[in-house]
């Protein structure tokens, strides 16, 4: 059973429990308020099932330190605070941040072309917004992806980090991790471990 299937199993269990609780609460409200609504319990069932399923999935991901990037796409990031975005997620830990973004690709996209497109679109999110970056060192193969290290300056502050790209079903998935200059070395292996944990269920 892969991660997506396990998440769905937790959602189903949570939905069933939530539905039962929702029905009980709806019936209690109906009796207490003497409502003449024979199908009022259906509202409780729907609300309970939806809430329970969401809570079950969240509980499973939290128990495994998983961050859901897209349906069936997960990484492990223990100790990082996650915020969902429209297409991806933003993670923070102290002064470090990691932004994970889906990038629309072409039929012949490669990790290298996805990285170029990501940079060209000015999507690098550092403190204060997008900023020009200086790529340092050669590109490094990361399994089926490619990683480039960079330095940058934004609002008078220097930053450093990695940008790593993969191609998934023709589209790009970019991990952009950064920290104030001098601080990235301390979390680089942790970031790269999270990137390496990428799972496509």
The boundaries of every CATH 3.40.1000.10 domain in the chain are 70-200
* Token pair in block for residue 31: 């009796």
Which pTM value belongs to this model? 0.71
CA atoms within 13 A of residue 53's CA, in its CB half-sphere: 12
Local confidence pLDDT in tens for the 201 residues of the chain = 667 778 888 889 888 998 888 888 888 888 888 777 778 888 888 998 999 888 888 787 777 778 887 777 888 888 888 887 777 789 999 899 999 988 888 878 888 888 878 877 665 544 444 455 666 666 666 667 888 888 877 777 888 888 898 888 788 889 999 999 889 999 999 998 888 888 765
CA atoms within 13 A of residue 75's CA, in its CB half-sphere: 27
197: Cβ contacts below 8 Å, ≥ 6 apart = 75, 76, 77
Q: Is 34 left (phi over 0), alpha (psi -120 to 50) or beta?
A: left
Architecture of domain 70-200: 3-Layer(aba) Sandwich (3.40)
Please say whether the dihedral angle defined by the alpha carbons of residues 62, 68, 74 and 80, taken in this order, is positive or negative. Answer: negative
- Give the position of tokens 């920290």: 179
């Amino acid at each position: 059973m892969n991660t997506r299937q396990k998440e769905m199993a937790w959602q189903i269990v949570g939905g069933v429990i939530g539905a039962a609780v929702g029905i009980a609460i709806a019936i209690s409200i109906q009796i207490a308020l003497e409502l003449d609504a024979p199908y009022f319990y259906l509202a409780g069932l729907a609300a309970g099932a939806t809430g329970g399923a969401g809570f079950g999935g969240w509980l499973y991901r939290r128990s495994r330190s998983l961050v859901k990037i897209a349906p069936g796409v997960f990484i492990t990031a223990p100790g990082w605070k996650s915020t969902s975005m429209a297409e991806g997620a933003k993670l923070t830990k102290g002064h470090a941040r990691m932004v994970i973004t889906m990038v629309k690709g072409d039929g012949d996209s490669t990790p290298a072309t996805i990285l170029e497109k990501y940079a060209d679109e000015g999507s690098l999110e550092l403190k204060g917004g997008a900023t020009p970056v200086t790529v340092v060192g050669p590109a490094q193969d990361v399994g089926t992806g490619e990683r480039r290290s960079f330095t940058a300056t934004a609002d008078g502050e220097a930053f450093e980090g990695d940008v790593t790209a993969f191609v998934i079903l023709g589209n790009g998935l970019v991990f952009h991790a950064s920290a104030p200059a001098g601080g990235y070395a301390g979390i680089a292996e942790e970031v790269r471990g999270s990137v390496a944990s990428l799972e496509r269920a």
